[in-house]
Amino acid sequence: MSGSGKSTLSRAIFLSAAAPRLVIDPAASELTAVDGAHTFRDPGRIPWDEAATLRFVPRHADDRAAYDELYRRLMTSGRPCFVWLDEPEDALPASGYAKWGKTLVVRGRKLELGHLTNSTEPVNILVNLKRTADHVVMFHTPLEKDRRELAQAMGVELAVLDRVHDEVIAVEHSFAWFDRRARALTWCPPLQLAA
């Protein structure tokens, strides 16, 4: 759900990653405008030398060609980078996604390209984002179809996910964390961030 804490947690993880970092924000939200970040709009020129943290805001949120070009340049740059894609429904939707975006999600790890994303609608984003993730975090997710999608991607029974989800609902801003390597699904209390 909106306001559950997805972007706040994503921002904390993103800012803890080593530079260079790149946030992709189709909506140009204030939350991704981190201190010292250099915002750019031309996917054909990633301004690596401008700042340790870059922020790509496309001219048009639904410009799939811009996302594809940006991901192509990330994949072929030879630079390690940590990428945060905020609200991926425009950049990496379930269908009609950027080909190079899928390539980065599937093979970017080998090139030291980390990828973090958050979404209010898991059923509407690229399947590989969920199925290849080392970690999946779930905040209050009211729609069963979204929980079912996440359970399938995690390889857990929906009933197991729903039991943890009941704990998430009980405490505002708490969340469930799935660690794929440990095959562990854990309830987590709300994040306590310094102001």
Domain count, the chain: 2
pLDDT for res 91:
87
27 and 16 within one domain: yes
Domain boundary among 108, 133, 158: 133
- Rounded to an integer, what distance in angstroms lies between the CA atom of residue 156 and that of residue 159? 8
160 and 146 within one domain: yes
Helix axis angle, 144-154 relative to 158-170, nearest 10°?
Answer: 120
12 and 68 within one domain: yes
119 and 36 within one domain: yes
pTM of the model: 0.88
- Phi–psi pair at 150, nearest 5 degrees: -65, -40
105 and 165 within one domain: no
The list of the chain residues with pLDDT below 70 reads 193-195
Expressed as residue numbers, the domain containing 151 is 135-195
pLDDT digits (tens, 9 = 90+) for 165-185: 999 999 998 999 999 999 999
80 and 170 within one domain: no
